[in-house]
């Protein structure tokens, strides 16, 4: 296969010698699980995010679970989120015996629509207070997902949720690193969660971080992430107290991040601004080439929202009219033929068997999420893409659009 036709994968982590050396250092230290490396990672992350508490966990899914648990979500409660997300965001609601209450998205950002959120909370407010409190399950939290790294309108969201005194969790799985201006994305709600999964902007394989400004929430998450062991009694790693002297005060979870992963995370965090700027440059080139090709027009090809606070985790192109995914699917097939890997973020949860059947949901219940899904193609966006690869991807997108329009 010539270099020219070599398949360009959709995602690839950027691991340098520094990450390799950091892992070797931890392996040689004799401590494989959670200890000082993880504590240092937490301190560095908290400082970078400008928050008092950063708690490392073994995945963002674990972090979301711990956040909702700490906020008191329990059986019979409801948690508001948009269906336009990865299943993690909703499954953790079910872990706690609560139910998701879906709200449609903004058609351009694909994030939860503040207007729809306000309407929903107003309509359901009797569930939380007054005579009908608890009748349908109180609304215990709202989860805002920043899709692809485009920030939700947190000012609008928190203004609405404060009116009903409902806490906000930010699924900031896509939101690293933080842009130079404005508050770090993921730190404006009550709890924010980041993912270090292999394809995320800081990749350690499996891992996550929870941030909060609230001491009590941090204390609860710290307790529950490691077996409900009271750390005041048992400081497992540093204390002179014998390690058998500990108390268990809750049935907690096993969600701690090992030092091997934290070592990778520390290096990735230090490199994250440079990695973001590499992705931002590629995204800018995609915009330039696709615009210059004259195919941008709301009904046919729409570029992703250009927000200065974008982490540039995903570049989600919108194609076609959204009534059907015909053009999108044809373009993906053509791009694959041309050696360009793509993905779709996301097939909304209300179309997934579990949520559809359990909650009796129809595709048209969330029409904007449906249309956004029908139109979505995520292009490769990672620092390892060379200039010729970026140009090849642009050529392929323009070719695939032309060919698919002719066929359709």
Q: Which residues bind ligand PLP (CB under 6 A)?
A: 59-61, 85-86, 88-89, 145, 171, 173-174, 195, 197, 208
Of 290, 347, 355, 395, which is closest to residue 99 (Cα–Cα)? 355
Closest distance between ligand PLP and the C-beta of residue 85, in Å?
A: 5
Comparison of 161 and 311: residue with beta carbon closer to ligand PLP = 311
Both tokens of residue 35?
């200890």
Q: How many CA atoms lie within 13 A of 173 on its CB side?
A: 25
Give the separation between CA 139 and CA 125, rounded to whole angstroms. Answer: 8
Phi and psi torsions of 229, nearest 5°: -85, 130
Closest distance between ligand PLP and the C-beta of residue 88, in Å?
A: 4
Comparison of 234 and 253: residue with beta carbon closer to ligand PLP = 253
Comparison of 56 and 278: residue with beta carbon closer to ligand PLP = 56
Closest distance between ligand PLP and the C-beta of residue 208, in Å?
A: 5
Closest distance between ligand PLP and the C-beta of residue 99, in Å?
A: 18
Both tokens of residue 50?
């400008």
Q: Do 104 and 82 form a contact (C-beta atoms < 8 A)? A: yes
Give the separation between CA 381 and CA 287, rounded to whole angstroms. Answer: 13
Closest distance between ligand PLP and the C-beta of residue 324, in Å?
A: 25
Residues contacting residue 353 through CB under 8 Å, at least 6 positions apart: none
Residue tagged active-site, from 65, 200, 220, 266:
200
Of 159, 158, 154, which is closest to residue 172 (Cα–Cα)? 154
Give the separation between CA 18 and CA 270, rounded to whole angstroms. Answer: 11
Closest distance between ligand PLP and the C-beta of residue 321, in Å?
A: 26
Both tokens of residue 299?
């009904």
Comparison of 98 and 176: residue with beta carbon closer to ligand PLP = 176
Comparison of 67 and 160: residue with beta carbon closer to ligand PLP = 67
Closest distance between ligand PLP and the C-beta of residue 290, in Å?
A: 24
**Residue 254 falls in the annotated catalytic set:** no
Comparison of 89 and 128: residue with beta carbon closer to ligand PLP = 89
The DSSP call for residue 112 is B
Residues contacting residue 236 through CB under 8 Å, at least 6 positions apart: 229, 243, 246
CA-CA-CA-CA torsion sign (366, 369, 370, 371):
positive
Burial label, 212 (beta-carbon count in 10 A; 0-12, 13-18, 19+): buried
Phi and psi torsions of 194, nearest 5°: -115, 150
Both tokens of residue 178?
């933080």
Q: Please, where are the H alpha helices in 255-303?
A: 259-292
Give the separation between CA 239 and CA 275, rounded to whole angstroms. Answer: 38
Comparison of 173 and 338: residue with beta carbon closer to ligand PLP = 173
Catalytic site residues?
200
């Amino acid at each position: 296969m010539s270099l020219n036709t070599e398949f360009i994968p959709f995602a690839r982590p950027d691991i340098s010698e520094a990450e390799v050396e950091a892992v070797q250092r931890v392996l040689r230290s004799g401590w494989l699980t959670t200890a000082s490396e993880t504590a240092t990672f937490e301190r560095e992350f908290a400082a970078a995010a400008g928050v008092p508490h950063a708690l490392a966990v073994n995945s963002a899914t674990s972090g979301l679970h711990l956040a909702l648990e700490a906020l008191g979500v329990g059986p019979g409660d409801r948690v508001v989120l948009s269906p336009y997300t990865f299943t993690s965001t909703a499954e953790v609601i079910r872990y706690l015996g609560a139910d998701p209450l879906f709200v449609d998205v903004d058609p351009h950002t694909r994030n939860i629509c503040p207007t729809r959120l306000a309407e929903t909370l107003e309509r359901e407010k009797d569930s939380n207070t007054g005579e009908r409190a608890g009748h349908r399950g109180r609304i215990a939290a709202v989860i805002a997902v920043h899709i692809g790294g485009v920030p939700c309108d947190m000012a609008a969201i928190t203004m609405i949720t404060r009116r009903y005194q409902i806490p906000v969790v930010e699924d900031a799985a896509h939101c690293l690193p933080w842009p130079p201006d404005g508050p770090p994305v993921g730190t404006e709600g009550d709890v924010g969660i980041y993912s270090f999964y292999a394809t995320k902007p800081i990749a350690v394989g499996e891992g996550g971080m929870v941030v909060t400004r609230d001491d009590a929430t941090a204390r609860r998450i710290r307790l529950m992430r490691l077996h409900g062991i009271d750390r005041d009694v048992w400081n497992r790693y540093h204390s002179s107290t014998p390690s058998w002297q500990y108390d268990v005060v809750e049935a907690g979870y096993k969600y701690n991040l090992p030092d091997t992963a934290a070592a990778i995370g520390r290096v990735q965090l230090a490199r994250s601004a440079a990695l973001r700027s590499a992705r931002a440059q590629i995204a800018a080139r995609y915009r330039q080439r696709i615009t210059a090709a004259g195919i941008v027009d709301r009904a046919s090809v729409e570029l992703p929202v250009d927000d200065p606070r974008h982490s540039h985790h995903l570049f989600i192109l919108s194609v076609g009219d959204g009534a059907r995914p015909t053009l999108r699917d044809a373009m993906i097939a053509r791009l694959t033929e041309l050696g360009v890997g793509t993905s779709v973020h996301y097939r909304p949860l209300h179309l997934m068997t579990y949520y559809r059947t359990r909650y009796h949901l129809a595709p048209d219940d969330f029409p904007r999420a449906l249309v956004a899904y029908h139109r979505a193609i995520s292009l490769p966006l990672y620092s390892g893409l060379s200039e010729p690869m970026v140009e090849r991807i642009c050529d392929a997108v323009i070719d695939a659009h032309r060919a698919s329009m002719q066929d359709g």
